[in-house]
Amino acid sequence: MRIGELAGAAGVSVRALRYYEEQGLLAAQRTPRGQRVYPPAAVDRVQLIQQLYAAGLPSRTILELLPCVDAGVSTPESLARLAAERDRIDEQIAGLIATRDRLDRVIAIASDPTHPCMTS
């Protein structure tokens, strides 16, 4: 598939795909005239990249962990790195749950009809 199709299928921009290639995250075959060609599996890979970005990992870290996550190739170092990132995500989850619960309590109090501070 070509870059526009991949972008549509994976839900990202064409520019983002070229950026991923620039960062070494996503390789592409080329036609004799220089246009990028991707295998169908690239869709999953792009979505994985997006998922890791969403978890707050920078390109460099994703680059280090992708062979590990994607192909199952692992060294002791990459495994440790993987575990460290997992723990970081865990802390992030815990923080978000605390924030959500705090917002929930605020909502509960503010939704209480007997609440004294309604502006309306």
Q: What track of x and - describes contact with DNA for positions 64 through 83 (by CB under 7 A)?
A: --------------------
State yes or no: residue 39 binds DNA (CB under 7 A).
no
User: Is-contact 2 35, C-beta < 8 A?
Assistant: yes
Q: Residue 119's beta-bridge partner residues?
A: none
State yes or no: residue 31 binds DNA (CB under 7 A).
yes
Nearest CB to DNA, comparing residues 18 and 88: 18
Please name the residues in contact with 34: beta carbons below 8 A apart, sequence gap of 6 or more: none
Residue with the two structure tokens 């690239």: 42
State yes or no: residue 85 binds its own copies (CB under 8 A).
yes
Residue 47: how many CB atoms within 10 A of its CB? 14
Q: Which does 29 bind (CB under 5 to 8 A by kind): DNA, its own copies, none?
A: none
Nearest CB to its own copies, comparing residues 3 and 46: 46
Residue 31 beta carbon to its own copies: minimum distance, rounded to whole angstroms? 32
Question: Both tokens of residue 35?
Answer: 């246009």
